[in-house]
Structure 1
Amino acid sequence: MPAPPHPTTVVLPEPINVSPLIRFARWSALGLGVVWGYYRLRQIREYHADIREWHHEKAVAAAAEATKKKKWLAKEEMRYLMKVCSFC
């Protein structure tokens, strides 16, 4: 004797026969959506790669400028110390 079904078991109705034309249209729409998504993702990746490259160039330029300023300030400090200590 089979076990009784669980009280929360979902009983699904029989599937409805769908026209082959409708099934083809659904699968075509799914395929086109996947292809369009792949194309769009490539576009977005290229755009964001350009943005990342720009940010990197900006950071490199800022680091170079900071290094240059740090060297200049160190030279100025040494000149000031030499002037104060009367070594010049």
Structure 2
Amino acid sequence: MSSLPAPVRVSPLIKFGRWSLLSVGILYGAFHQNRLSKKEAAIREVELKQKAIRDEKLAAEKKAAAEKEIAELEKLAK
């Protein structure tokens, strides 16, 4: 095995800087995640309201198309 040199002592200022940047990054990530999740929840609520309206329209269109098709079939049967 190769003999490794003794580890270099890292300056306390550098250690403090590393740990403070790490903690600031974690706090920023938590804040950003919280903000984005609230925004996404609001978007989901709007989409659910729009989905209900869209489903009603689709059901009405399907019903109208079915009635039209039945009327055309009755015409052809006569």
Aligned match for 2:54, one of 58, 62, 71: 62
Higher fraction of helix:
2
Alpha-carbon displacement from aligned partner over 1:26-69 (angstroms, at most 9, x marks no partner)? 11110111011100011111112222222222221110112233
Gaps of 5+ in 1: none
The code of the aligned residue for 1:33 comes to: G
Higher relative contact order (CA 8 A, sep 6+): 1
Gaps of 5+ in 2: none
Q: Give the fraction of aligned pairs with identical amino acids, expressed as a percent.
A: 31
Question: What is the root-mean-square deviation of aligned Cα atoms in Å?
Answer: 2.6
TM-score scaled by length of structure 1:
0.61
TM-score scaled by length of structure 2:
0.67
